[in-house]
Amino acid sequence: MKKTFGKLIVFAACALVFVPGALQAQQSKPWEKIPIPKLHEFKPHQPQRIELKNGIVLFLQEDHELPFVSGSVTIPGGSRDEDPDKAGLVGLYGQAWRTSGTAKINGDALDDLLESKAAHIETGGDVDSTALSWDSLKGDSDQVLSLALDLLFHPNFSAEKLELARQEAATNIVRRNDDEGGIAGRESVKLVYGPNSPYTRQPEMATIGAVGLEDLKAWHARTIGGKLIVSVSGDFDPVVMEARLRAAFAGLPRVKVAPARHDDFAGPKPGVYFIDKEDVNQSNVEIVGLGTDRRNPDVPALAVMNEILGGSFASRMFQKIRTEQGLAYAVGGSYGYGWDHPGEFHAMVLTQSATTVDATKLALAEIDGLTTRPFTEEELARAKDNILNSFLFRYDTREKVLAMRVRLEFYGYPSDYLENYRAALEKVTIADLDRVAKKYIHPGKLAILVVGNGPEIKPGLEELKLGPVLPIDITIPMPKQPEVEKKQ
């Protein structure tokens, strides 16, 4: 024991001798001297674009790296185009379309066939479009494409499958208030766009109950005549694939151009809004306002500003609220831009109930600081590097490039949008950041939504001193039950 103890003393003494050297090595940070090569020129492999005489567009992205073929048909028209009295129609349609199958093969048999081939055919709906997609091994690609085209042109909507879709939608409705994060996201968007906006419309029991089989058929007939965008990627012969798609789509009538939308976007009414959820011990804080769209030439500068505000671990919001003060589980913020309508300004903080007010004040201070606290060259360089480096991963495959190319086509953007956007990001300066911050950041026009446990939020939200706290009712309306006639 004595010998061992002596060795420990010697070891400790040696450690003390070598500590200064180790500290000096750490302080010198030699890794910072490693040269970082310049990013290679951004030249994504563009797919072949073919526009048919009827206006339908085909995209072919040949890629022989793996023996797979995948494709999709994007169809204009989504939930924002629904009849408000039948909100949820597109969701029901997207599910029942696939599960019903066609006159040649019903949905259950189609499931079995595709499973045997490790292939997929899926349908679904979004806010502005619906889509059919498929994927398979190269050897099965002809058959799977035939099945997908049969489903596209000859769906056989089933009352049984519609009812199954309705039951699933009903389950989602009655459970939509279970998760506080879902509540916060849903209700904050309503503050920005309005509760009756096509962009915040939500299904209710009564509206999904009003959707019948004829509504699904009418929706399909209405949207299939729009500007379809057909895309295929993978291991195929482009000459053969083009001929196959021309045979399927060239004979369709001239596409019907959808009329331009004229939606109103007034932005939120400033104030503090609250939703009480007493089964949680934390608060979801959403600070929201109206954003812009991607056609705005200021978007590159806004993107860099967003990165500095709340887009990474090094952002101002993350460093102040989480790293320095330890008041948040999650934090972030950005000035949003939509493809064909204004996005949202959206900052969020997930914090303990007792620190709700303090964390919210810090978030508001960082937002306001965009117009009062000077940007630095270090912030600018780091933000631009983060965004530009992300291009290497977001568009690192031909399939990802194809997906973006379809999106650009759908919204009417030029084919070289990505290259131009990336070049514009590189040119953003501190002067640009100062300008867009002063132009777009207006804390007085923002709304604050808190979803949390009211009794545990101490001090109360009145301490924000932004006016009275306005409660939001999230009660789920249930359809009225028919009255039973009294017996005579």
487 lies in a domain?
Answer: no
For residue 49, what are its two tokens?
A: 């674009």
Predicted confidence at residue 39, as pLDDT, reads 66
Closest by CA to 267, choosing from 335, 212, 183, is 335
433 lies in a domain?
Answer: yes
For residue 344, what are its two tokens?
A: 């949202």
35 lies in a domain?
Answer: no
Residue pair 391/457 in contact (Cβ under 8 Å)? The answer is no
Closest by CA to 339, choosing from 160, 127, 481, 136, is 127
Predicted confidence at residue 115, as pLDDT, reads 97
Q: Which domain holds residue 357?
A: 271-471
**Domain check: are 275 and 245 in the same one?**
no
**Domain check: are 238 and 317 in the same one?**
no
255 lies in a domain?
Answer: no
CATH of the domain at 169: 3.30.830.10
20 lies in a domain?
Answer: no
**Domain check: are 128 and 275 in the same one?**
no
Predicted confidence at residue 413, as pLDDT, reads 97
**Domain check: are 140 and 284 in the same one?**
no
Residue pair 448/290 in contact (Cβ under 8 Å)? The answer is no
Q: Which amino acid is at 161?
A: K
**Domain check: are 360 and 238 in the same one?**
no
Q: Is 221 left (phi over 0), alpha (psi -120 to 50) or beta?
A: alpha
DSSP for 420-484 reads: HHHHHHHT--HHHHHHHHHHH--GGG-EEEEEE-GGG-SS-GGGG-SSPEEE-------PPPPPP
Pairing of strands 129-137, 282-290: unpaired
DSSP for 191-202 reads: HHH-TT-TTT--
Contacts for 386 with CB less than 8 Å, ≥ 6 apart = 307, 311, 312
Distance CA 344, CA 337 (A): 7
Looking at 249, 280, 299, the residue that finishes a domain is 249
Looking at 200, 218, 249, the residue that finishes a domain is 249
199 lies in a domain?
Answer: yes
**Domain check: are 242 and 369 in the same one?**
no
12 lies in a domain?
Answer: no
Angle, helices 141-153/107-116, rounded to nearest 10 degrees: 160
Closest by CA to 318, choosing from 256, 366, 353, is 366
**Domain check: are 232 and 127 in the same one?**
yes
261 lies in a domain?
Answer: no
Per-residue pLDDT for the chain (488 aa), expressed as one digit of tens each?
444 434 433 333 344 444 444 444 456 677 667 776 776 677 889 999 999 999 999 999 999 999 999 999 999 999 999 999 999 999 999 999 999 999 999 999 999 999 999 999 999 999 999 999 999 999 999 999 999 999 999 999 999 999 999 999 999 999 999 999 999 999 999 999 999 999 999 999 999 999 999 999 999 999 999 999 999 999 999 999 999 999 999 999 999 988 889 999 999 999 999 999 999 999 999 999 999 999 999 999 999 999 999 999 999 999 999 999 999 999 999 999 999 999 999 999 999 999 999 999 999 999 999 999 999 999 999 999 999 999 888 898 999 999 999 999 999 999 999 999 999 999 999 999 999 999 999 999 999 999 999 999 999 999 999 999 999 999 999 877 666 544 44
**Domain check: are 59 and 194 in the same one?**
yes
**Domain check: are 276 and 183 in the same one?**
no
**Domain check: are 339 and 235 in the same one?**
no
Predicted confidence at residue 1, as pLDDT, reads 43
Contacts for 361 with CB less than 8 Å, ≥ 6 apart = 464
Q: Tell me how many domains the chain contains.
A: 2
Q: Which amino acid is at 223?
A: T
| 3-state secondary structure (DSSP) of residue 163 | helix
Tell me which residue has tokens 């995209």.
59
**Domain check: are 226 and 375 in the same one?**
no
Distance CA 428, CA 301 (A): 6
Predicted confidence at residue 487, as pLDDT, reads 46
C-alpha 7, offset from chain centre: 61
Closest by CA to 117, choosing from 129, 132, 105, 134, is 134
Distance CA 205, CA 186 (A): 17
**Domain check: are 235 and 295 in the same one?**
no
